[in-house]
Amino acid sequence: MTRSQNQFPAVLVRRYGRALRLAATLAAVAVPLAGCSGTSDFLEKFSFNKEEAFVDEPAEKLYNQGLYLLNEKSDPRQASKKFEEVDRQHPYSDWARKSLLMSAYAFYQSGDYDSCIGAASRYVTLHPGSPDAAYAQYLIASSYYDQIPDVSRDQARTDRAMSALEEVIRKYPTSEYATTAKRKLEGARDQLAGKEMQVGRYYMDRRDYTAGINRFKTVVTRYQTTRHVEEALYRLTEAYMSLGIVGEAQTAAAILGHNFPDSRWYKDAYNLVKSGGLEPVENKGSWISRAFKKIGLG
């Protein structure tokens, strides 16, 4: 899954609009070090990088510098350092709370998903009642979602993405992020269904029909709303016909035709059943029929 180039979140623009306007007027200047030679000697003695060593700065100034780097300079990595510095120098201020969320967003924009998850998780833990906690939770979910691998690889990250997306929906059902989380959740479910189909086809190629049926059954029972269910029903028709379990083959073809009459997979399933001198006929007692009736299909 590829990460979209998100604009600065509208809800944060609304909430921190004054700070954004202030940030637009800032020049991109380096934070000055203390001017005395003693400070310079101290830094050199302990091998600090002068560009990364900050003297105490006003929280608002650091925060607005971070916003400037994030919005005007499109430099989320440097912006995150500014936001983290607010938290380091002013840990109990309201600016620290804002900066923690903004650092999570900056990490996300830079593709540093682990750091984003860490900062956003800390925000949710420290400020569970904040109006922005929903967005922090959504950043966690999006970070996992954007790391979903190709179906040919292990899908542990997909499972984590689904859990995090479900958390957004469960904890913040009325938030604007719940709707987007639901769409992403369907994408993650589709990915897991695709993995089951890949493994099922592998078994079919090796004529291990029982193992293939188990994989396609998972798609039909757990991922029925994904785009893979049509092929899964066809593969069940194929596998059951190969095993001589014609009643289940007829049911799979019938369910496929009833729910997806224009599907190319139904045409193939119909021809396969007909080649055995049969017609697609649903057996109401079949697990396939029961699975579809559970969600009102069939």
User: What's the confidence (pLDDT) of residue 152?
Assistant: 83
Three-state helix/strand/coil letters over the chain? CCCCCCCCCHHHHHHCHHHHHHHCCCCCCCCCCCCCHHHHHHHHHCCCCCCCCCCCCCHHHHHHHHHHHHHCCCCHHHHHHHHHHHHHHCCCCHHHHHHHHHHHHHHHHHCCHHHHHHHHHHHHHHCCCCCCHHHHHHHHHHHHHCCCCCCCCCCHHHHHHHHHHHHHHHHCCCCHHHHHHHHHHHHHHHHHHHHHHHHHHHHHHCCCHHHHHHHHHHHHHHCCCCCCHHHHHHHHHHHHHHHCCHHHHHHHHHHHHHHCCCCHHHHHHHHHHHHCCCCCCCCCCCHHHHHHHHCCCC
Confidence of residue 222 (pLDDT cuts 50, 70, 90): very high
pLDDT digits 0-9 by tens, 86-119? 989 999 899 999 999 999 999 999 999 999 999 9
Average pLDDT, integer, range 50-61:
69
**Predicted model pTM:** 0.72
